[in-house]
Amino acid sequence: MRDLIKMVVVLTAICGVSGLVLSYTNQATKAPREYQLLKYVKGPSIKAVLGGYDNDPIKDKIVLNMGKDKKGKPILKNIFPARKGGKLVGLAYGSAATGYHGPIDVMVGFDPKGKISGISIMTHSETPGLGARIVEPAFTKQFKGLTLSGDLNLTAKGGKIDSVSGATHSSEGTVEAVRKALELFPTVKKEVG
Amino acid sequence: MSISQEFTKGLWKEIPPFRLVLGLCPTLAVTTAGENGLGMGLATTFVLVFSNLLISLLRNVIPNKVRIAAFIVVIASFVVIVELVMQAYVYPLYKVLGIFIPLIVVNCIILGRAEAFASKNKLLASIADGLGMGIGFTISLTVLASVRELIGNGTLFGAHVMWSSFQPFSIMLKPPGAFLCLGLILGFMNFVSARQKGH
* Chain A residues whose beta carbon lies within 8 Å of the beta carbon of residue B85: 25, 29
HEC string for chain A:
CHHHHHHHHHHHHHHHHHHHHHHHHHHHCHHHHHHHHHHHHHHHHHHHHCCCCCCCCCCCCEEEEEEECCCCCEEEEEEEEEEECCEEEEEEEEEEEECCCCEEEEEEEECCCCCEEEEEEEECCCCCCCHHHHHCHHHHHHHCCCCCCCCCCEHHHCCCECCCCCCHHHHHHHHHHHHHHHHHHHHHHHHHC
Asked if B70's CB is within 8 angstroms of A33's CB, the reply is no
Residue spans of the domains in chain B: they are 3-148
Cα B4 to Cα B11: distance, rounded to the nearest angstrom: 11
Mean pLDDT over B127-131 rounds to 95
Cα B75 to Cα B53: distance, rounded to the nearest angstrom: 11
For the residues of B70-87, what is the DSSP string, one character each?
A: HHHHHHHHHHHHHHHHHH
Measured CA to CA in angstroms, residue A121 lies from A72, A118, B32, B152 at distances of 29, 10, 31, 34
B18-22, B110-114, B129-133: lowest mean pLDDT where?
B18-22
Q: What percent of chain B has pLDDT over 90?
A: 56
Q: What is the predicted pLDDT for the residue at B165?
A: 82
* Chain B residues whose beta carbon lies within 8 Å of the beta carbon of residue A21: 77, 81
Helix (H, G, I), strand (E, B) or coil at B199: coil
* Chain A residues whose beta carbon lies within 8 Å of the beta carbon of residue B87: 29, 33, 36-37
Report, as ranges of residue numbers, the positions in chain A whose pLDDT lies below 50.
none
Contact indicator for B144, B77 with CB cutoff of 8 Å? no
Proportion of chain B in helix, strand, coil states, percent, rounded to 5: 75, 0, 25
Residue B74 has pLDDT above 80, yes or no: yes
* Chain B residues whose beta carbon lies within 8 Å of the beta carbon of residue A29: 84-85, 87-88
Asked if B95's CB is within 8 angstroms of A18's CB, the reply is no
Asked if B92's CB is within 8 angstroms of A6's CB, the reply is no
Cα B86 to Cα B78: distance, rounded to the nearest angstrom: 12
Residue to substitute from A4, A33, A34, interface B, most B β-carbons within 10 A: A33
Residue to substitute from B50, B78, B84, B105, interface A, most A β-carbons within 10 A: B84
Residue B199 has pLDDT above 70, yes or no: no
